[in-house]
Amino acid sequence: MSQKKINIALLLGDPSGIGPELVSKLLNKKITNNANIVVIGEKNILEGGNKISGSSQNLKYVDNFDQINFEEGNKFFLDISNGKNHSYKLSECSKEFGESVLSALNLALELAKENKIHAINFGPFNKTSLKLGGNKYSDELHLMAEKLEVKDFFCEFNVIDNFWTARVTSHIPIKEVPDHVKKEKIMKPIKLINEAMKLNGIKVPRVAVQALNPHAEFGTEEKDEIIPAIEEAKKLGINADGPLPCDTSFITAYKNKNHDCIVGMYHDALQSGLKAFGFDRGVTVQGGLPVPITTPAHGTAFDIAGKNEANIEPTLNSFKIALTMAENKNKA
């Protein structure tokens, strides 16, 4: 296979959840032939996923990246077992599970820094296991940003049906949100999502911006901060529109197809609408990092782990986004 293809690292996700069985299924999808695939993890975890999914793959196993020759094939398994054969139980959190995930993730990030990997797509992580395993960051995005030495603004994008969302604030108390609704802070996700969507193939993204207050009128933030941010974005050539009242923004922007994405002021104003329209199809994109990193938006789903009931669509969509963004980034 040609080295001209994008190199994508696939991570199995938490071994106690549905990640391994989803990656097992993904590896047999035709679209994975459009990239050079390096699965990073423990061999027995993938084998467990294969047993659940009823799938198998013709992967070439290696112990380090330098053993990979993409002229000999496009799918490799980089085994981090180091001679150990850990046994993992489904549907429970543990220090060992977190350590395994962190080992695979840290290796993928190091390879990305060395430009050996051009995108990362991972099965769902479990935050409790990550914390038990030694993750000291609030979430995996902050871990990734630190490892990749990101100094500029970064944030999480949530996606359904290629409709994207970004937010000014995330996991903070609602009473603190108005203090962060400032023009300069609103501009950051507007600019970032505009550039990210261009990488995803939208030449001129139509960026909607949500209001903060009901009907965009019961307060001063719209007039003082949000509208000035929208006007500044327009001056930069960004096709920005708003502010849209939160209660109808997803009908206007997503359902009626008037916009390609929404930037909101706080977590629930975006996530409530997004999950109502497509919880079972969601994708998370780690925005602002030097390489595309994506994952299905659902969690580890302990209630169905091992039952071969997990829906492959979000995982497949997350892979497609990682591939498209990496290819376009390479062209640029």
Model pTM? 0.95
Residue 280 has what pLDDT? 82
Mean pLDDT of 128-137: 95
> What is the predicted pLDDT for the residue at 263?
98
Residue-level pLDDT at 2: 40
Does residue 115 carry a pLDDT above 60? yes
100 near 307, Cβ under 8 Å? no
DSSP label at residue 6? P
Give the C-alpha distances (Å, rounded to integers) separating 66 from 62, 76, 124.
Answer: 9, 12, 27
Give pLDDT, residue 295: 98
User: CA-CA distance, 233 to 43, in Å (whole number)?
Assistant: 48
What tokens does 27 get? 């590896």
Q: For residue 256, give every residue at least 6 positions away whose Cβ sits within 8 Å of its Cβ, in sequence order, or none.
A: none
Mean local confidence (pLDDT), 279-284: 89
pLDDT in tens, 177-206: 999 999 999 999 999 999 999 999 999 999
Alpha carbon 222 to its chain centroid, in Å, reads: 30
Residue pLDDT, tens place only, 139-177: 899 999 999 999 999 999 999 999 999 999 998 999 999
pLDDT at residue number 150: 97
Token couple for 306: 């091992």
> Do 23 and 315 form a contact (C-beta atoms < 8 A)?
yes
- Region 129-142: mean pLDDT is 94
User: Exposure of 277 by Cβ count < 10 A (0-12 exposed, 13-18 middle, 19+ buried)?
Assistant: middle
35-59 average pLDDT score: 96
**For residue 82, what pLDDT is reported?**
84
Please enumerate in sequence order all residues whose Cβ is within 8 A of that of 329, keeping only pairs 6 or more positions apart, or say none.
Answer: 118, 199, 292
Residue that the structure tokens 């497609």 belong to:
320
- For the chain, percent of residues with pLDDT exceeding 90: 92
Count of beta carbons in the 10 Å neighbourhood of residue 314:
25
Task: List, in order of start, the domains of the chain with CATH numbers.
Answer: 7-150+289-331 (3.40.718.10), 155-276 (3.40.718.10)
Least confidently predicted of 77-81, 137-141, 153-157, 249-253: 137-141
Q: Is the dihedral of CA 171, 110, 70, 198 positive or negative?
A: positive
Q: Categorise residue 220: left if φ over 0, alpha if ψ from -120 to 50, beta otherwise.
A: alpha
**Cβ contact 249:212 at 8 Å:** no
Confidence check: pLDDT of 1 > 80: no
- 3 has a pLDDT exceeding 70: no
Take residue 65 and report the two structure tokens written for it: 């990246």
pLDDT digits (tens, 9 = 90+) for 219-228: 999 999 999 9
Is the model's pLDDT at 86 over the cut of 90? no
Joined tokens for residue 77: 């398994």
Task: Give the ranges where the chain is alpha helix by DSSP (H).
Answer: 19-26, 43-53, 95-113, 127-132, 140-147, 177-180, 183-199, 221, 227-235, 246-250, 267-278, 313-331
Reference 168, options 229, 216, 218, 214; nearest CA is 229
Beta bridge partners of 35: none
pLDDT at 303 over 80: yes
Half-sphere exposure at residue 108, Cβ-oriented, CA atoms within 13 angstroms: 31
Mean pLDDT rounded to a whole number for the chain: 95
CB 133 within 8 A of CB 101: yes
- Can you tell me the distance from the alpha carbon of 278 to that of 280, in angstroms, rounded to the nearest whole number? 5
